[in-house]
Structure 1
Amino acid sequence: MSEVVTANQDAQPSALGGIFIITGTSIGAGMFSLPVLTSNMWFGWAVLFLCVSWYCMYSSALYLLEANQKFKHGVNFDSMTKALLPTSLRLLNGLSVLFVSYILVYAYISGGGSMLGHSLESGLGIDIDQSAASFIFAVLLGLIVSFSTKAVDRFTSAMLGGMVITFSIAIYSLLSGADFSLLQPLAEMTERLPYSWAAIPSLMVCFGFHSNIPSLVKYYNKDSSKVVSSIRYGSLLALTIYLIWLLASFTVIGRDGFTSVIAQGGNMGALVSALESAGSGATLAVTLQLFANFAVATSFLGVALGLFDFLTDLLKLDDTLSGRSKTALVTFVPPMIGGVLFPNGFIYAIGYAGFAAAVFALFTPVALAFQARKHLPTTDFLVSGGHARMASVLVFAVCVVSFQVLSMLGLLA
Structure 2
Amino acid sequence: MNRTLGSTLLVSGTMIGGGMLAMPLTSAGIGFSFTFVLLIALWLLLTYSALLFVEVYQTATHDAGIGTLAAQYFGKTGRVISTIVLMVFLYALLAAYVTGGGNLLSSILPEFGSQEIAEKLAIVLFTVFFGAFIVIGTKSVDGINRLLFFVMLIGLALVIFSMVPHIHMDNLMAMPLDNLLLISASPIFFTAFGFHGSIPSLNNYLQGNVKALRFSIITGSLITLSVYILWQLSTHGVLSQNLFLQILQQDPTLNGLVTATQQITGSEITAKIVKIFSALALITSFLGVALGLFECIQDLFTQTFKRATNRFTIGIFTFLPPLLFALFYPKGFILALGYAGQMFAFYAVVLPAALVWKARHAHPNLPYRVFGGNILLFIVAILGLIITSIPFAIKAGWLPTVVG
TM-score range normalised by the length of the shorter chain: 0.7 to 0.9
SS in 2 for 1:196: helix
- CA separation of 1:339/1:254 partners in 2, compared to 1, >3 Å: closer, same or farther? farther
One of 106, 123, 131 as aligned partner of 1:142: 131
- CA separation of 1:170/1:202 partners in 2, compared to 1, >3 Å: closer, same or farther? same
One of 331, 342, 351 as aligned partner of 2:318: 331
Q: Which moved more, 1:37-46 or 1:163-172?
A: 37-46
Displacement of 1:263 in angstroms is: 6.0
One of 364, 377, 383 as aligned partner of 2:370: 383
Q: How does 1:329-368 map to 2 (within 5 A)?
A: 329-341=316-328, 351-368=338-355
Contact residue 16 and residue 281 of structure 2 kept, 8 A: yes
Q: Which residue of 1 aligns with 2:70?
A: 81
Q: Distance in 2 between matches of 1:87 and 1:51?
A: 36
- CA separation of 1:152/1:274 partners in 2, compared to 1, >3 Å: closer, same or farther? farther
One of 188, 200, 203 as aligned partner of 1:202: 188
Q: Which moved more, 1:362-371 or 1:192-201?
A: 192-201
Q: Which residue of 2 aligns with 1:48?
A: 37
SS in 1 for 2:179: helix
Q: Distance in 1 between matches of 2:128 and 2:264?
A: 33
Q: Which residue of 1 aligns with 2:204?
A: 218
One of 383, 388, 394 as aligned partner of 1:407: 394
Q: Which TM-score applies when normalising by structure 1?
A: 0.86
- CA separation of 1:283/1:199 partners in 2, compared to 1, >3 Å: closer, same or farther? same
Q: Distance in 2 between matches of 1:247 and 1:207?
A: 18
Contact residue 77 and residue 310 of structure 1 kept, 8 A: yes
Q: Which residue of 1 aligns with 2:51?
A: 62
Displacement of 1:378 in angstroms is: 3.7
Q: Which residue of 2 aligns with 1:9?
A: none
One of 215, 221, 240 as aligned partner of 2:226: 240
Q: Distance in 1 between matches of 2:5 and 2:11?
A: 10
Q: Which residue of 1 aligns with 2:97?
A: 108
Provide, for residues 82-133 of structure 1, a one-character-per-residue CA deviation record: whole Å limited to 9, x for no partner. Answer: 1101544433322211121111112222333344455x39xx9999655544
SS in 2 for 1:192: coil
Displacement of 1:308 in angstroms is: 0.6
Aligned length: 394
Q: Distance in 2 between matches of 1:45 and 1:113?
A: 35
Q: Distance in 1 between matches of 2:133 and 2:248?
A: 32
Which stretches in structure 1 are left out of the alignment for 5+ residues? Answer: 1-11
- CA separation of 1:344/1:257 partners in 2, compared to 1, >3 Å: closer, same or farther? farther
Q: Distance in 2 between matches of 1:134 and 1:260?
A: 29
Q: Which residue of 2 aligns with 1:181?
A: 170
Displacement of 1:355 in angstroms is: 1.0
- CA separation of 1:225/1:356 partners in 2, compared to 1, >3 Å: closer, same or farther? same
Counterpart amino acid of residue 85 in structure 2: S
One of 377, 381, 388 as aligned partner of 1:394: 381
Displacement of 1:345 in angstroms is: 9.4
Q: How does 1:87-102 map to 2 (within 5 A)?
A: 87-102=76-91
The yes-or-no answer on 1:155 pairing with 2:144 is: yes
SS in 2 for 1:383: coil
Contact residue 60 and residue 366 of structure 1 kept, 8 A: yes
- CA separation of 1:389/1:14 partners in 2, compared to 1, >3 Å: closer, same or farther? same
Q: Which moved more, 1:93-102 or 1:150-159?
A: 93-102
Q: Distance in 1 between matches of 2:334 and 2:39?
A: 17
Provide, for residues 249-296 of structure 1, a one-character-per-residue CA deviation record: whole Å limited to 9, x for no partner. Answer: 233344444554576563x45544443344322431332222211111
SS in 1 for 2:370: coil
Displacement of 1:351 in angstroms is: 4.9
Q: Which moved more, 1:15-24 or 1:282-291?
A: 282-291
- CA separation of 1:14/1:149 partners in 2, compared to 1, >3 Å: closer, same or farther? closer
Contact residue 73 and residue 221 of structure 1 kept, 8 A: yes
- CA separation of 1:248/1:344 partners in 2, compared to 1, >3 Å: closer, same or farther? farther
Provide, for residues 198-223 of structure 1, a one-character-per-residue CA deviation record: whole Å limited to 9, x for no partner. Answer: 22112111111111111111111111
SS in 2 for 1:163: helix
- CA separation of 1:335/1:133 partners in 2, compared to 1, >3 Å: closer, same or farther? same
SS in 2 for 1:85: helix
Q: Distance in 2 between matches of 1:344 and 1:162?
A: 32
SS in 1 for 2:28: coil
Q: Which residue of 2 aligns with 1:3?
A: none
One of 6, 10, 18 as aligned partner of 1:21: 10
Q: Which residue of 2 aligns with 1:167?
A: 156
Contact residue 12 and residue 221 of structure 2 kept, 8 A: yes
Contact residue 42 and residue 192 of structure 1 kept, 8 A: no
Q: Which residue of 2 aligns with 1:316?
A: 302
Q: Which TM-score applies when normalising by structure 2?
A: 0.87
One of 280, 283, 287 as aligned partner of 1:301: 287
Counterpart amino acid of residue 214 in structure 2: V
SS in 1 for 2:88: helix
Displacement of 1:377 in angstroms is: 6.9
Counterpart amino acid of residue 69 in structure 2: M
Displacement of 1:340 in angstroms is: 3.0
